[in-house]
Amino acid sequence: MYTASSINLDRYRDNLSARRQYMRYAMIVVMIALVMRAVYLQVLSKDFLQNKGDRQYLESMPVTAYRGQIRDRNGEPLAISAPVQSIWINGSQIKENDWEKIDEMARILSLPEQETRSLIKKQSKKKFFYLKRQINPSLAEQISALNINGVYVQREFKRYYPAGAVSAHLLGFTNIDDQGQEGLELEYNQRLQGAQGAKRVIKDGKGRVVQEVENISEAVPGQDLALTIDERIQYLAFRELLAAMRDNQAKSASLVVLDAKNGDVLAAASQPTFNPNNRKDYNGESFRNRSMVDSFEPGSTVKPFVVAAALDGGYVRPDAVFETHGVYHLGRNVVKDVHNYGFLDLTHVLTKSSNIAVTQIAMRIPPKEFWSVYKNLGFGSGSMIGFPGEASGALLDYQNWHEFDQATLSFGYGVSTSLLQLARAYTALADDGVVHSLSLLQRDEDPEQRRLFKPETARRVREMLEQVTGKEGTAYLARVEGYRVAGKTGTVKKAIKGGGYSEDKYLSVFVGMAPASAPRFIVAVVVDEPSAGHYYGGQVAAPVFSKVMGGVLRMYGVEPDGLENMRLLVSKR
């Protein structure tokens, strides 16, 4: 017989068994659902989820191209790029517990800790800003090891100039983004910089690259530049200009060396200069390559071209003599010489540098022909050498000349030129009447050379210019032991803004070639505002020419052509 308590116990047991059965079924259903979900995610939706994950963590990154090198004619590096690292920050990812590490990073980078903290807090909403650019890779490794949220390392390249200040005016420099800013770096920036590439990478949750997946496009390195410059000659010019600046207490100085046979620029130096490896030294005034971008009136250095034009055109005979007495009247105008030279033949017109005699010669040449000679020598137009800011100079069209204009042009006033253009003009005398185009990049030949004077005319004028460097000439200090030297001085009064000329500020100029029997090189020198007592071209610029030309001739092993003169000097001693 069942009691009430036994009936309740049986009901409890039945309910417990039912609940257990329900729980068992529920667990089986959940397990089946999980298995089905796993199959769905890992098999049926694998590609979709994989792509979604890739979109979340895959990122395209630029690959910096290596900037092309600049080398001299002998293959010596003048500008190269070295790999460096830069530190950039995503301010929104910086965490509160990272500030101690940030202080450590500041110490590694030699940055003030408090200023670094303030900067990062100020830029906290920015996702990208640079903390420090172009640091040593070893420092970048130390920063990476700190594992700071939002701090990243980026590879870049830094431009380095092995010769420092020696070639600074010529090469120019790049900015911190490796883009050319001055000189050849600017002129040939597109050629040097190459093309940036791209790659796809996987980043972790902190934005760090954990795997490189693929190259989207290869970075194309920039092209190298092979210059005509000889770094040895460039250094020699740099050194002698620096000494001339110091000794003469001058404002500035420039020098150009050309290959007389093909117009290659072997050196183009200016003082004062700057160090392109130290950006703290940078200022606009020091960047100018004065030998190419500054123009000036060349003074008496153009007189040999007047004599050559008159001989070539038959307007004077080789044995012509000119009367000078210190003052010459041309209409209402007056031409003066420093001294009364009396009667002068053509050689002594150049040796004594007579303004009066060269004026008489110039006035015999028709204005159009006179102008044509100057124009074909390159005066009044740029040399198209491929240098930013190159001066073109100025030459008034002959149709606008007055009578006195042709006279002043004959002794180098009323026409302006750069030192590079003036040196180029002398190729017409050095290479037996052929004037050359100029080049800073190596080439097989000069495609634009053209004859301007007859060979015999150029040789005759060159012989006259040898006497300029003799004891009776104005440039005795330009001689080079063992070699015959031909050249011409110029002492030019500086123009004053508003018109007229200064009475105490001069340009001292000398242009010459050697060996005079068959010139290999042309050297042109200008010293601006010498103030140590001397200012004549033969006193200031000629000695610089002598030292540089002597060094160049020995450097290239050019056979001496003045040994007979040396023997005569020794016998007289």
Residues with a catalytic annotation lie at: 300
- Indicate the DSSP class of residue 16: H
Write out the two tokens for 210: 């954990």
Examine residue 272 and say whether the peptide bond preceding it is cis (omega within 30 degrees of 0). yes
3-state secondary structure of 357: helix
Q: Which long-range contacts (CB under 8 A, 24 or more apart) does 402-409 make?
A: 403/330, 403/331, 403/363, 404/330, 404/331, 404/333, 406/362, 406/363, 406/365, 406/367, 406/370, 407/330, 407/333, 407/335, 407/359, 407/362, 407/363, 409/302, 409/362, 409/370, 409/374
Report CA-CA distances (Å) from 44 to 36, 41, 51, 340. 10, 6, 14, 109
Q: Which amino acid is at 166?
A: V
3-state secondary structure of 201: strand
Q: In 223-363, which residue ranges form alpha helices assigned H by DSSP?
A: 231-248, 290-293, 303-312, 346-351, 355-362
Write out the two tokens for 427: 């190729």
Write out the two tokens for 20: 């257990």
Write out the two tokens for 455: 């060979």
- Indicate the DSSP class of residue 459: H
Q: Are strands 129-135 and 151-160 parallel, antiparallel or unpaired?
A: unpaired
Token pair 């303004």 is found at: 355
